[in-house]
Amino acid sequence: MNRPSDLYIGIMSGTSLDGVDAALIDFSQAAPRLAASHFQPYPAALKEALLALHQPSLDELHQSQLIANQLAREYARATQTLLKKAGVAAASVQAIGCHGQTVRHRPEHGYSIQLNNAALLAELTGIHVVSDFRNRDIAAGGQGAPLVPAFHDMVSRHPNINRVILNIGGIANLTDLSPNKPTIGFDSGPGNLLMDAWIAGHQGKPYDKDGAWAAGGKVIPALLQKLLAEPYFAAPPPKSTGRDLFNLAWLESQLHGGETPADVQATLLALTGDSIADAVNRFCTRTREIYVCGGGAHNKALLSHLQLALPQCRIQKSEVLGIDADWMEAIAFAWLAQQAMHLRPANLPGVTGAKHPCVLGAIYPA
Ligand SMILES: Nc1ncnc2c1ncn2[C@@H]1O[C@H](COP(=O)(O)OP(=O)(O)O)[C@@H](O)[C@H]1O
Ligand SMILES: [Mg+2]
């Protein structure tokens, strides 16, 4: 018997600052079904403005609200294109789960800021909007991140195989799904964001396609050791991070200036790969299978590096589990919206360190 569809939209815009991932998901069957997807790159000026807002500046409160309005318009435009592609009316959608754009992530100070004007997004789309997913978990003593492990836990567990779901966005995060153990999850450190920043500065490209530039350089061992000495990497979970720590200034403070740019790129790729491999070996012991998602899943040189660093693991893209690598996070935010609309807790205290399960997100009715 066909059940009526149960449609939610997930909108993710991550630390890479590449743009908006929008996914329309039908939750009416046993497994979530990706009904339509749309990627909308950020206009160059918006990316620049967002990068600038990561640094303290004069009048940043006013600027951040203007940018939040602009983001809401981008999210609304992505929603409209998505619905058009799917041939679905806004009235058929239960809610949008919109992550917003992180510009500060400071759980140690009790807050995380994802810019968005959720009221404007509800106004422009006529759909309920769930937004601000992280601060309730932080209020309960958690990191507010990562939030996707609860979704991975629901869709990707295996009864007797130790699996890791690895999302390589701007920051990389891991979910450890070990049989008979509670799920853990944490940010391992940089994913693509340092590689993206370095190639942008040297070649004007948004990212190093397939890791080709890095593959043509030589890792600088002394630099790699210095970067890996950052205490964040050895700290045990729960932990989360962002551009607040890993940024171009952090990298440049470790350079002497005479390095060949391609060698720095190779070293940054090794930093991402080695910090992920170290995290698996330290905190996700007995992992046999790794399923990769996020844009970094397309970086062939990075995946080869990871496979060499983790010979005991079979590394594949999340497609093998039936979830497209490019849409995992947007699907997870659609699911988080569904949890919020039903007032169901969606954080995993074992992941974030929160004192108790919480309903995540603020609801802005259409
Ligand atoms: N073909 C590719 N080769 C290398 N890197 C890629 C490729 N495609 C995407 N990426 C990387 O993925 C990033 C986007 O990943 P995404 O999962 O959207 O991250 P975020 O969630 O932080 O926005 C890009 O900035 C780029 O670094
Ligand atoms: Mg992205």
pLDDT in tens, 299-352: 999 999 999 999 999 999 999 999 999 999 999 999 999 999 999 999 999 999
Residue 90 lies in a domain: yes
Q: Which residues line ligand 1 at a C-beta cut-off of 6 Å?
A: 14-16, 18, 169-170, 192, 196, 207-211, 294-296, 298-299, 329
Taking residues 213-226, what's their average pLDDT? 98
137 and 176 in a common domain: no
305 and 157 in a common domain: yes
pLDDT in tens, 12-26: 999 999 999 999 999
Residue 315 lies in a domain: yes
Residue 2 lies in a domain: no
134 and 42 in a common domain: yes
Q: How far is the CA of 195 from the centre of ligand 2 (A)?
A: 14
One-character DSSP codes across 296-362: GGG-HHHHHHHHHH-TTSEEEEGGGGT--TTTHHHHHHHHHHHHHHTT-----HHHH--SS-----E
306 and 192 in a common domain: yes
pLDDT in tens, 277-309: 999 999 999 999 999 999 999 999 999 999 999
360 and 303 in a common domain: no
With cut-offs at 50, 70 and 90, classify the pLDDT of residue 4.
Answer: confident
Residue 68 lies in a domain: yes
Nearest by Cα to 203 from 262, 128, 287, 250: 262
Q: How far is the CA of 159 from the centre of ligand 2 (A)?
A: 31
Output the CA–CA distances (angstroms, integers) from residue 36 to 133, 234, 294, 340, in the order listed.
Answer: 23, 40, 17, 22
- For the entire predicted model, the pTM comes to 0.97
Whole domain around residue 113: which residue ranges? 7-143+327-364
pLDDT in tens, 175-187: 999 999 999 999 9
Residue 363 pLDDT exceeds 90: yes
Residue 345 lies in a domain: yes
Residue owning the nearest CA to atom 18 of ligand 1: 295
pLDDT in tens, 227-256: 999 999 999 999 999 999 999 999 999 999
Write the CB contacts of 14 (distance below 8 Å, at least 6 apart in sequence). 21, 99, 102, 169, 170, 171, 294, 329
The C-alpha atoms of residue 248 and residue 242 are separated, in whole angstroms, by 12
The C-alpha atoms of residue 188 and residue 145 are separated, in whole angstroms, by 12
Which ligand sits nearest to residue 148's alpha carbon? Answer: 1
247 and 267 in a common domain: yes
Which ligand sits nearest to residue 325's alpha carbon? Answer: 1
Give the count of domains, the chain: 2
Q: How far is the CA of 16 from the centre of ligand 1 (A)?
A: 7
Residue 3 pLDDT exceeds 70: no
Residue 1 lies in a domain: no
54 and 134 in a common domain: yes
Residue 252 lies in a domain: yes
42 and 14 in a common domain: yes
Q: How far is the CA of 298 from the centre of ligand 1 (A)?
A: 7
Residue 63 gets the label, from left (phi > 0), alpha (psi -120 to 50) or beta, of alpha
For tokens 């497609």, the residue is 319
119 and 63 in a common domain: yes
189, β-bridge pairs:
172
Q: How far is the CA of 190 from the centre of ligand 1 (A)?
A: 12
119 and 82 in a common domain: yes
282 and 360 in a common domain: no
Residue 2 pLDDT exceeds 80: no
The residue out of 321, 340, 355 marking a domain boundary is: 321
Residue owning the nearest CA to atom 9 of ligand 1: 295
CATH of the domain at 221: 3.30.420.40
Residue 1 pLDDT exceeds 70: no
262 and 197 in a common domain: yes
Residue 134 lies in a domain: yes
For tokens 């594949």, the residue is 316
Residue owning the nearest CA to atom 24 of ligand 1: 295
